[in-house]
């Protein structure tokens, strides 16, 4: 059965969306836009996937919607095949992100690591070339089957938010993540150490004055 399922390029693109987002419903024109394939090819392959038993069809507001059937015999195996490619994608995006500007911190989370966070890509630094970044994100949004959210913080703001244990950054740091680049780590560690020493001196000064 597997050789039949993977025998079409359009079908593989559809599988990428259905298996990465099993709770998402899609309609035909949406899938045409997402995959870049012709509408007739999409309709034909949706019919094939329904015949295999991998997706179901429902009608709502005169539209047909398609969704993954999690009770499909090979659902777990197929989903595992597509999620295993995430490591390769991480390597690709690392290469592409090297040329997006003067960025000191690049951390992948969210869609890249399978955890619930408010962003998928965290960056900090001096300058970001947004047009280049948009091209990179568009490329990988297609592969993941959903838009990739990003956050860029100026270096000073990032340092400050780390120092106050900002909740947004804390949630990213304690969850599963892929650190591509972190040139600010040593600087932040030095600042934190300096704060500890200052607090210790202040405490010693208070004791001596008593």
Q: Tens of pLDDT along 10-64?
A: 888 888 888 888 888 999 999 998 888 899 999 999 999 999 999 999 998 888 9
Integer Cα distance of 205 and 182 in angstroms: 36
- Of 72 and 199, the structure prediction assigns the larger pLDDT to 72
| pLDDT exceeds 60 at position 209 | no
CA angle 188–184–165, rounded 5-degree value: 45
Structure confidence at residue 3 as a pLDDT band (50, 70, 90): very low
Q: Are strands 121-128 and 150-154 parallel, antiparallel or unpaired?
A: parallel
In degrees and rounded to multiples of 5, residue 84 shows phi and psi of -65, -20
Exposure pattern of 32-53 as b/e (b: 16+ CB <10 Å)?
bebbebeeebbeebbebbeebe
Give the residues across from 105 on adjacent strands: 124, 182
Exposure pattern of 93-118 as b/e (b: 16+ CB <10 Å)?
beeebeebeebbbbbbbbbbbeeebe
- For the record, the structure tokens of 12 come out as 């593989």
The SS3 call for residue 67 is strand
- Of 92 and 165, the structure prediction assigns the larger pLDDT to 165
Structure confidence at residue 177 (pLDDT): 85
Structure confidence at residue 123 (pLDDT): 93
Structure confidence at residue 66 as a pLDDT band (50, 70, 90): very high
Class of the domain covering 2-73: mainly alpha
Does the model's pTM come out above 0.75? no
Residue 172: enclosing H or E segment and its boundaries? helix 167-174
Structure confidence at residue 124 (pLDDT): 92
User: How would you list the strands of the sheet with 178-182, edge to edge?
Assistant: 150-154, 121-128, 101-108, 178-182
Mean pLDDT value across residues 56-73: 92
Mean pLDDT value across residues 170-190: 80
pLDDT in tens, 92-144: 777 787 778 788 899 988 887 777 889 999 999 988 888 888 888 887 887 77
- For the record, the structure tokens of 182 come out as 């972190």
Pinpoint the alpha helices (H) of 36-151.
Answer: 39-52, 75-83, 86-97, 130-144
Structure confidence at residue 100 (pLDDT): 82
């Amino acid at each position: 059965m597997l050789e039949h399922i993977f025998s079409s390029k359009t079908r593989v693109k559809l599988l990428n969306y259905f298996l990465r987002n099993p709770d998402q419903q899609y309609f035909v024109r949406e899938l045409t836009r997402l995959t870049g394939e012709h509408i007739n090819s999409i309709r034909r392959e949706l019919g094939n996937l329904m015949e295999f038993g991998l997706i179901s069809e429902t009608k709502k507001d005169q539209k047909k919607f398609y969704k993954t059937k999690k009770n499909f015999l090979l659902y777990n195996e197929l989903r595992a095949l597509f999620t295993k490619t995430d490591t390769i994608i991480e390597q690709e995006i690392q290469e592409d992100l090297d040329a997006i500007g003067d960025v000191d911190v690049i951390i992948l989370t969210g869609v890249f690591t399978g955890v619930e966070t408010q962003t998928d890509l965290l960056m900090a630094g001096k300058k970001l070339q947004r047009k280049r970044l948009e091209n990179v994100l568009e490329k990988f949004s297609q592969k993941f089957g959903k838009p990739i959210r990003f956050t860029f913080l100026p270096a000073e703001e990032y340092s400050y938010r780390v120092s106050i244990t900002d909740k947004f950054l804390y949630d990213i740091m304690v969850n599963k993540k892929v650190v591509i680049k972190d040139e600010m780590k040593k600087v932040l560690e030095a600042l934190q150490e300096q704060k500890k020493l200052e607090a210790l001196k202040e405490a010693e000064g208070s004791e001596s004055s008593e």
